[in-house]
Amino acid sequence: MYKKIFLASICTAIFTGCSLSPKLTVSQIDPYDLGALGLNVNHNNSSISDKWWEEYGDKTLNSLVEEALNNNKDLEIAILNISLARSSLSIKEADRYPTLGVQGGASRTQTSEEAFSSQGRRSTFNDFSLSAILNYEIDLWGKISSANAAAKADLLASKATADGVRLSLASGVVDSYFVLLSLKEQLSLVKKTIQTRKESYELTKIRFEEGVERESTLTQQESLLATAKIKKNNIEQQIATTSSALGILLGRDVRRLLADKNIKIDKLPNDINVPTDIPSSILQNRPDIETSFQQLVSSNALIGVARAAYFPSLSLSALFGLDSYKADNLFKTSAKTWNAGSTLAAPLIDFGRTSNNVEIAKISKNIAVLNYEKTVLNAFSEVYNAVTSRMLLQENLKNSLDYEKAINRTLELANYQYEVGYVDYLLVLDAQRSLLDAQLSRIQTHQALLSSGVALFKALGGGWNKDKIYE
């Protein structure tokens, strides 16, 4: 009884193996540090939609993001890398089990008369065989299980990388779309200003020719008109550049989209409230942090694989088959043959190969630790910058609206004073120029505020209740 228990324990130890990978300890992100960034940290299961861009209520934006997620080449590559990692994991998992092969052969042999065993006689014979061969390496030191753990981590890292590409792609489309809307809105404003200034210039020119208006007023009008045309050309150039960048993200030419009269791309949406009441574990779910963490897990497991080379490896093999010099007798009971055995191989002298491989694995892990820590610090920096930027831009947008309102009132007063003869028309022109600059500045600030929201969504990981789209 005790002998059976002892043998069972030995077999369990042999077949389970022991891992030589060091214990991995990673410092957790302190939620109080997140609070210092201006976020309200809680320990509840708060959630943010993975499709956060739908919060802006823009159907055109939603369709563009979905199109990009379906057509972008970088995301396709990332998803193929997941398939590659999954196949690699399957190979590593298969190494944990025996291999069973079938081998068959048929040969005809003639011996030499000059051979010692033939004693001057030549013989000719046939040989037919059919065998099943079983091979199995026992994972004594956890080499196979460590390699399997590394492959699992690589698969999770590839999924996180793809999710990072997906997040960057969606953020890039949303941000480019907002920039495009801002430029289109500015272009519309400048075109209206050009038309107004043309009419004003023509009227001033008539008044100058009649001797009612001074030449300086006419030249000032001409200068303002030329400046507006320059602004128009610059904005159109920026629209072309932004459209091209957006087209790359979408995987198609967006000129047809811009020319579609049924799609209105000319006005920025209202800003939305980006959640700042977040779970304390939020940053650990960022795709880049998850990727660097899984890479660290993989490099730590590979230390165990390298260390296992110091110790002997034990392999079991067995052959069960049939062998006969006549094909007709191959499947008779008397033709059965078998062989079973084990092989123990141990390193003796390798001139430092194993120790150097272990050292390389350790250095790779240290690099992965530093990369993980760097990624975490970068995440804190991005969240801090996004939160700070939003706070300042919200205030700036309010100030821009107040400034535009004040300039608008200044223009009204200048027009009235000019009409009653209190001021020169140059004061009116100066107010017109200031009003255009204020309006353009307000649009740009509005777009910057929207972009800061995109940056904060991205910094927070773009949602932590994501669908399992890569299974």
Strand partners, 277: 40
d(CA 368, CA 355): 20
Residues with Cβ < 8 Å from 266, sequence gap 6 or more? 181, 184, 185, 188
Q: Say what the pLDDT of residue 454 is.
A: 92
Q: At what angle do helices 215-250 and 143-209 cross, to 10 degrees?
A: 160
Place of tokens 């779309």: 177
Q: Which helix (H) or strand (E) holds 328?
A: none
Strand partners, 316: 136, 342
Place of tokens 């410092």: 27
The CATH architecture to which 19-96+139-311+347-459 belongs is: Up-down Bundle (1.20)
Q: How many CB atoms lie within 10 A of CB 30?
A: 11
Q: Specify the 3-state DSSP secondary structure of 197.
A: helix
d(CA 78, CA 161): 7
Q: Say what the pLDDT of residue 6 is.
A: 36
Q: Say what the pLDDT of residue 32 is.
A: 46
What is the identity of the amino acid at 375? Answer: T
Q: Is the dihedral of CA 364, 365, 370, 371 positive or negative?
A: positive
| CB-neighbour burial class of residue 79 (10 A; exposed 0-12, middle 13-18, buried 19+) | middle
Which CA distances in Å does 363 have to 99, 199, 296, 299, 326? 34, 73, 11, 9, 60
Residues with Cβ < 8 Å from 55, sequence gap 6 or more? 49, 272
d(CA 252, CA 246): 9
Q: Say what the pLDDT of residue 351 is.
A: 87
Structure tokens at 363: 């250095």
d(CA 456, CA 23): 35
Q: Which helix (H) or strand (E) holds 208?
A: helix 143-209
Q: Say what the pLDDT of residue 419 is.
A: 80
Q: Say what the pLDDT of residue 338 is.
A: 85
> What phi, psi does 463 have (nearest 5°)?
115, 135
Q: Say what the pLDDT of residue 48 is.
A: 63
Q: How many CB atoms lie within 10 A of CB 408?
A: 15
Give Cα 59 distance to the centre of its chain.
Answer: 25
Give which of 147, 142, 167 is closest to 249, Cα–Cα. 167
According to DSSP, residue 327 is labeled G
Q: Is the dihedral of CA 445, 450, 456, 459 positive or negative?
A: negative
According to DSSP, residue 140 is labeled T
Q: Say what the pLDDT of residue 407 is.
A: 92
Radius of gyration for the alpha carbons in the chain, expressed in angstroms and rounded? 38
Structure tokens at 86: 């999954």
Q: Specify the 3-state DSSP secondary structure of 405.
A: helix
In the sheet that holds 99-110, the strands lie side by side as 99-110, 124-138, 313-324, 336-345
d(CA 362, CA 364): 5
The DSSP code sequence of 262-304 is TS---SPPPP-----EEETTGGGGSHHHHHHHHHHHHHHHHHH
According to DSSP, residue 127 is labeled E
How do strand 277-279 and strand 40-42 relate by DSSP bridges?
A: parallel
Q: Which option is the CATH number for 98-138+312-346: 3.90.1170.40, 2.40.70.10, 2.130.10.30, 2.20.200.10?
A: 2.20.200.10
Q: Can you give the pLDDT of all 471 residues of the chain as single tens digits?
A: 434 433 443 454 444 556 788 888 776 665 445 555 555 555 555 556 778 899 898 888 998 898 888 888 787 888 888 888 888 888 878 777 888 888 888 888 887 777 666 666 778 888 888 888 888 888 888 888 888 888 899 898 998 888 888 888 999 999 999 999 999 999 999 999 999 888 888 887 887 877 877 888 888 888 888 999 999 999 999 988 988 888 888 877 766 666 665 556 668 999 888 765 565 566 777 889 889 999 999 999 989 888 888 888 888 888 888 888 888 877 888 888 888 888 888 888 888 888 898 999 999 999 999 999 899 888 888 888 888 898 899 999 999 999 999 999 998 898 888 788 787 777 888 888 899 999 999 999 999 999 999 998 888 887 644 444 445
Q: Specify the 3-state DSSP secondary structure of 162.
A: helix
Q: Say what the pLDDT of residue 448 is.
A: 95
As a 3-state breakdown, the chain gives helix, strand, coil percent values, each rounded to 5, of 65, 10, 25
> What phi, psi does 26 have (nearest 5°)?
-125, 130
Q: Say what the pLDDT of residue 211 is.
A: 80
Query: Tens digits of per-residue pLDDT, 168-194?
Result: 899 999 999 999 999 999 999 999 999
Q: Parse the chain into domains and list their residue ranges.
A: 19-96+139-311+347-459, 98-138+312-346
Q: Say what the pLDDT of residue 395 is.
A: 94
